[in-house]
Amino acid sequence: MGKRNQEVEKDDSKRYLETFSDLMSLLLVFFILLFAFGQADLERFKLLSSSLRAAFHGITVFESGVGLGEGFDASSINEPGTNVINFGALPSRKRDYMKVASELNKFALENELAKEISINVGKEGIYISLSSALLFPSGSVDIAPEGQKTLKVIAKLLNEIPNEVRVEAHTDNTATGSPIYPTNWELSSARAVSVVRFLQEKGEVDPTRLAAMGLGEYRPLFPNDTPEHRALNRRADILIIYPPEEEPPIINLQELDTFN
C-alpha cells in the first residue's frame, strides 16, 4: 500500500510539465498571430524609414563615395498604389526629394548604376548628379545609350515637378586636345546643351523651364590629383531649383531698446 502511494505521488509531481507545455504552445500560437497581424505595419514601417532616411539625409557619390543605389534602401517601396503613405504635410522640397530619390534608386539598382547616379539637397534645390562616364564617351558630347535611358527616367520625374531646371556640366583639368572644343569651357558647355536638348526633345520637358551652364574644370569636387578624383569631377548636375528657404529673422535686443 505504501509503495502504491509513492508511485501516485511520483506521477503527480510531473503533471506540471503538461500545464507548462500547454502554456508554451498557447504562447507560441499567440506570438505567431501577432507576427501575422503585424506584417502590414512592418512593411509600412520599412517604407516610412527608407523614405525619411532619403528625405533628410541626402547621400551623394561625390562626397562620400557611396552611390545612391548603395546608400539608400528603397527595396520595400512597391509600385504606385501599394503601401502608400501620405507625406503631404512635408515641405515640397522634401516631398519631391523623396519621390525623385525613390524612383532613381530603383532605376539605379535595376540597371547596376549605383555608383553613376547620386542625389542630394543643396541650398538652391535638388541636385541629380550623373557621372560623365554614364552620359558621354570620352571627349564626346553625344549622349551614350545608357545615358539616354537614364535621362528619360529623369525627364519623367521632371515633368511631375513644375520647378525650373538647370543643367551644369563639369570636366576635370585635362586638356581636351580637340580643335572643335579647344578648352574645357567649350566642352562642358556643349555637354550641358546636349543634356538640355535631350530633355526637351526626347523627354518633352518644357524648354522654358530649362537652362544650360558649362562650368569647365573650375568647380571640382576633389583635387585633380588621381584618375579616381578626375573621374568624380567629370559630371553633369541636373538642378531642380526651389525658392530660397526663409530663415527666421535675427532680432537685436539692443536695437529694440532704442525704441522704448
Please tell me the distance from the alpha carbon of residue 260 to that of residue 247, in angstroms, as a whole number.
26
Residue 253 falls inside a structural domain: no
The larger pLDDT score, comparing residue 14 to residue 148, is at: 148
Amino acid at 112: E
- Tell me, what CATH number does 135's domain have? 3.30.1330.60
Task: Summarize the confidence of residues 92-108 as an average pLDDT.
Answer: 89
Q: Which domain holds residue 82?
A: 37-241
82 pLDDT band, cuts 50/70/90, is: very low
The C-alpha cell at 238 is 541636373
Answering whether pTM is above 0.95, one says no
> Which of 90-99, 122-131, 154-163 has the weakest average pLDDT?
90-99
Residue 155 has pLDDT above 80, yes or no: yes
Residue 257 falls inside a structural domain: no
223-231 long-range contacts (CB < 8 A, ≥24 apart) are 224/172, 224/173, 224/174, 229/172, 230/172, 230/173, 230/174, 231/131, 231/132, 231/133, 231/172
Residue 18 has pLDDT above 70, yes or no: no
The larger pLDDT score, comparing residue 46 to residue 240, is at: 240
Residue 204 falls inside a structural domain: yes
Residue 80 has pLDDT above 50, yes or no: no
